[in-house]
């Protein structure tokens, strides 16, 4: 018996949008990728690295299912990890918004990715706050 998607308790609006079009959603996620990078607009942030936490959710084409248990049959997430490292290497980024947008653009550059959720947090801004961040959700245009 098939349950209409509208009857499911889906709290993620990106998942809901994708489930309205396809019977299932597959996700790959990076949880709390810790990087030390040059980021910030203030004078005390220039010329030094600071810790940044990055979270990425890739909403994948659900038709990509391994039949032989082989990496060649699925999306290799090493490409995303390496891409993030390339984006931050050897440069200063002023805004979290810039980094998040660049990561989202990179991820949607992979044809297997239908949508992406990216967030960053600077973790040493205030002593009484675990992180100050920015988040973006971007869906591939129809």
Q: CA-CA distances (angstroms) from residue 56 to 67, 111, 119?
A: 26, 16, 7
Q: Which two tokens stand for residue 58?
A: 């890739």
Contact (Cβ atoms closer than 8 angstroms) between residue 108 and residue 122: no
Smallest CA-to-CA distance from 100 within 138, 123, 134 is with: 134
- CB-based burial label for 31 (10 Å; 0-12, 13-18, 19+): exposed
What phi and psi values does residue 35 have, to the nearest 5 degrees? -130, 150
Task: Give the model's pLDDT for residue 1.
Answer: 43
H helix and E strand count, the chain: 3, 5
**pLDDT reported for residue 141:** 84
Q: Does domain 5-139 have CATH number 3.40.30.10?
A: no
Q: Where are the domains of the chain?
A: 5-139
Per-residue pLDDT, 16? 85
Give the pLDDT means over successive 10-residue stretches in the chain (142 positions). 53 82 87 97 92 96 83 92 97 97 98 95 95 95 78
Dihedral sign for Cα atoms in the order 95, 100, 103, 105: negative
């Amino acid at each position: 018996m098939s349950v209409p998607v509208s009857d499911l308790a889906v709290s993620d609006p990106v998942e809901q949008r994708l489930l309205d079009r396809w019977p299932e959603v597959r996700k790959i996620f990076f949880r709390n990728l810790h990087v030390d990078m040059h980021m910030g607009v203030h004078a005390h942030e220039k010329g030094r690295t600071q810790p940044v936490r990055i979270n990425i959710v890739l909403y994948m084409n659900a038709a990509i299912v391994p039949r032989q248990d082989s990496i060649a049959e699925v999306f290799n997430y090493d490409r995303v990890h390496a891409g993030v490292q390339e984006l931050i290497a050897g440069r200063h980024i002023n805004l979290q918004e810039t980094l998040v947008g660049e990561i989202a653009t990179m991820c949607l550059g992979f044809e297997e990715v239908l949508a992406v959720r990216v967030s960053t947090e600077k973790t040493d801004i205030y002593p009484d706050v675990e992180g100050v961040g920015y988040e973006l959700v971007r869906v591939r245009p129809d």
